């Protein structure tokens, strides 16, 4: 599952990014393999700008790469060129299939924003031309990003039932004013 790989399970090119993760942050690259080449290029570029840069987080968020890094281990260090390189990679990610790395587009599937090429979009949604079934093949389904971002969102009604007595709910949450001067 993406996001729960052991540190040693990443490809060698990605291991360089894992080695840059700042102390106190989990050594996780929470992105799918289609963005690995983009990250390798970004790492090479950032290394020329700030050889000792540190990575805090690398994840997919709302169908875009979110790459949080600093030019050095000094949190107040700021570098325009460094940040512009990150923003450029994040913009490139919204047009790069997360699964295979070819040009893609953002899609919302089951309330989850993903960047997919037409082929992986069709497979993820079950709209392929395969005659035997309309369901995506199990090996082609896009895995959840991590255990912290399940694909099955909670339904609002599970949290706050629609037929709840709103007045009683508000009254129950009001602090008691008895005994106040």
Split at pLDDT 50, 70, 90, the class of 6 is: low
Q: What confidence score (pLDDT) does residue 75 get?
A: 75
- The pLDDT tens digits of the residues spanning 169-180 come to 344 444 444 554
Distance CA 49, CA 28 (A): 23
- Rounded to the nearest 10°, the torsion over CA 92, 68, 110, 157 is -150
Three-state secondary structure call for residue 70:
strand
- The pLDDT tens digits of the residues spanning 95-134 come to 999 999 999 999 999 899 999 999 999 999 988 654 444 4
Rounded to 10°, the helix 36-49/80-93 angle is 170
- The pLDDT tens digits of the residues spanning 65-103 come to 999 999 998 878 899 999 999 999 999 999 999 999 999
Q: What confidence score (pLDDT) does residue 162 get?
A: 40
Tokens representing residue 41 in the block: 């290029």
Distance CA 176, CA 28 (A): 46
Residue corresponding to tokens 């699964």: 99
In the chain, the N- to C-terminal Cα span, in Å, equals 58
- The pLDDT tens digits of the residues spanning 19-38 come to 999 999 999 999 999 999 99
Q: What confidence score (pLDDT) does residue 77 get?
A: 87
Would you say 18 and 10 are in contact if contact means Cβ atoms under 8 Å apart?
yes
Each as own residue / partner, the long-range contacts of residues 65-73 (CB below 8 Å, 24 or more positions apart, any chain) are: 65/31, 65/35, 65/38, 65/39, 65/89, 65/90, 65/92, 65/93, 66/90, 67/39, 67/42, 69/20, 70/22, 73/22
Segment (H or E) for 114: strand 112-116
pTM above 0.75, yes or no: no
- Residue 106 buriedness (CB in 10 A; 0-12 / 13-18 / 19+): middle
């Amino acid at each position: 599952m993406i996001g729960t790989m052991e540190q040693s399970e990443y490809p060698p090119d990605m291991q360089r990014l894992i080695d840059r993760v700042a102390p106190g942050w989990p050594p996780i690259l929470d992105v799918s393999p289609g963005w690995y080449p983009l990250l390798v290029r970004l790492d090479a570029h950032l290394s020329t700008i700030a050889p000792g840069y540190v990575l805090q987080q690398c994840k997919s968020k709302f169908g875009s790469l979110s790459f949080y890094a600093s030019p050095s281990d000094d949190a107040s260090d700021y570098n325009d060129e460094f940040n512009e390189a990150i923003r450029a990679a994040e913009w490139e990610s919204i047009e790069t299939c997360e699964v295979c790395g070819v040009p893609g587009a953002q899609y919302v599937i089951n309330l989850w924003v993903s960047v997919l090429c037409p082929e992986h979009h069709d497979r993820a949604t079950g709209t392929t031309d395969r005659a035997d079934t309309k369901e995506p093949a199990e090996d082609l389904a896009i895995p959840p990003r991590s255990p912290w971002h399940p694909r099955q969102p909670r339904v609002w009604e599970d949290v706050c039932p629609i037929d709840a007595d709103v007045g009683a709910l508000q009254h129950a949450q009001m602090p008691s004013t008895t005994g106040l001067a």
